Amino acid sequence: MPVHQVKKLLEELLEKYEQGKRPLIKIAENTFPRYFTDGEFKALFHAALKDWEREGFITLVWERFEKDNLLRHVKLNPEKAELLYEKLSRQKPQEKEEHYRKLWANLNDFPEWLGELKKDMLIEPLFDDDAEIIVAVLNALSLNNEEIPKRVFSQRYLGDSKLFLKVERKVAALLQKYYFKDIEVSGEAVFSEFGVVNNPVYLHLAGPVILKYPDGRLFDLKGLNYDVAFPAGLALQLEIADFTAQRVVTVENLTSYYQYVRSYPEDAVLYLGGFAGKMERKFLRKIYDYCLNRGLSIDFYHWGDIDLGGFNIFLHLKRETGIPFKPLWMDLDTLLKYKERGMKLSESYRQKLTKALEDPVYQDFRTVIEMMLALNIRLEQEAIEL
């Protein structure tokens, strides 16, 4: 008996009924292929549907001159909908809404972005079969203060090393809307923001800085013509013992980072590799607070690609550190100087840039974006010579 197919059809009729759509299912070859190729299945399918029709739940509409042989579509009788919910053991819309509202109510109230998400979900809950897992992940992310591999995070908070992967994209979408908001973040950067990473993270630093280890030992970067990389756990324990740099510069891409270190040894330079994670931001705050407390007037700059990604990284860095960063070589003059090395824009990218012009968050880059559109290019860091 094609019990599963009939139950699925009835469920779909109720879904349409819930959505305010016409509760009708067309019997088509692409949705019911066996109906058109298997005579035995077809006969059993007819028999099962006729039982539901006799009880008044549905109406069968046959093709002209093909009664009892070829179905055109199946209609739900709305007056029987309430009883059909019971027959199928299906939650009614109001029961389903309350069920999901209770699940989303388990979200933490803080930090603010999570409280905002919770408030919205209590008003209009998102119906998602993975809601319970998503809630657990969001709560864990909001409380995590360490660097942790994704699989370890999943095992620790979900009891299964692979379960996080199941909801990763759904959680990322919610984080984009409620945490990152108007700054578009994608890929590994979404979860590295919360310390959840694929691979161990290192702090790459160069310049005239003396660091102090937790045991009191000093590490002098002065005079080195290369950078030093510290594991995240250690980097967060390091303190600034002395600082004589002319300025602090963060760099988006690795090739450009090494190029800058060689060209400007008098500056303190930090490699980001994209969006600045918690570790980089905390370390930058250490430098900023050290300079502030000692009355040192040091400028902070970020050098990134002249594209939406580079602009978003800069805006995120400035917002999340609270440091008055300035863009470096991300201006109109730089774009014009190296325009021959620019990369052509796709139509979809042009649409994103045009939309950015209407967003006040990109105000500092407005003239650059306008010229990018006029020249139909974007410029990567590697195109710039130091």
pLDDT for 271-303, tens place per residue? 999 999 888 999 999 999 999 999 999 999 999
Average of per-residue pLDDT across 346-358: 96
Asked whether residue 82 falls in the same domain as residue 106, the answer is: no
Asked whether residue 210 falls in the same domain as residue 180, the answer is: no
Average of per-residue pLDDT across 93-119: 94
Asked whether residue 150 falls in the same domain as residue 229, the answer is: no
Asked whether residue 215 falls in the same domain as residue 262, the answer is: yes
> Which tokens in the block code for residue 173?
């979408």
pLDDT at 359 over 70: yes
Asked whether residue 69 falls in the same domain as residue 123, the answer is: no
307 to each of 43, 352, 355, how far by Cα in Å? 61, 11, 13
**What does the angle CA 243 – CA 246 – CA 248 come to, to the nearest 5 degrees?**
80
Average of per-residue pLDDT across 206-228: 90
Asked whether residue 128 falls in the same domain as residue 190, the answer is: yes
Q: How far apart are CA 288 and CA 37, in angstroms?
A: 73
pLDDT of residue 278: 85
Asked whether residue 229 falls in the same domain as residue 154, the answer is: no
In a domain? residue 362: no
Asked whether residue 161 falls in the same domain as residue 277, the answer is: no
> Which tokens in the block code for residue 273?
């590799």
pLDDT of residue 189: 86
**Number of domains making up the chain:** 3
In a domain? residue 374: no
pLDDT for 9-30, tens place per residue? 999 999 999 999 999 999 999 9
Asked whether residue 123 falls in the same domain as residue 82, the answer is: no
Could you give the strand order of the β-sheet that contains 24-26, starting from the edge strand earlier in sequence?
Answer: 24-26, 71-76, 58-62
The CATH number covering residue 278 comes to 3.40.1360.10
In a domain? residue 325: yes
| DSSP state for residue 217 in the 8-state scheme | -
In a domain? residue 336: no
In a domain? residue 350: no
pLDDT at 222 over 90: no
pLDDT at 184 over 80: yes
**What does the angle CA 383 – CA 384 – CA 386 come to, to the nearest 5 degrees?**
140
Asked whether residue 209 falls in the same domain as residue 297, the answer is: yes
pLDDT of residue 247: 97
Range of the domain at 309: 201-331
| 344 φ/ψ angles, rounded to the nearest 5 degrees | -65, 145
Q: Considering 40, 60, 87, which residue would you say is the last residue of a domain?
A: 87
In a domain? residue 355: no
Percent of the chain with pLDDT over 70: 99
pLDDT for 36-53, tens place per residue? 999 999 999 999 999 999
Q: How far apart are CA 156 and CA 171, in angstroms?
A: 17
Asked whether residue 221 falls in the same domain as residue 318, the answer is: yes
Is pTM, for the whole model, over 0.85? no
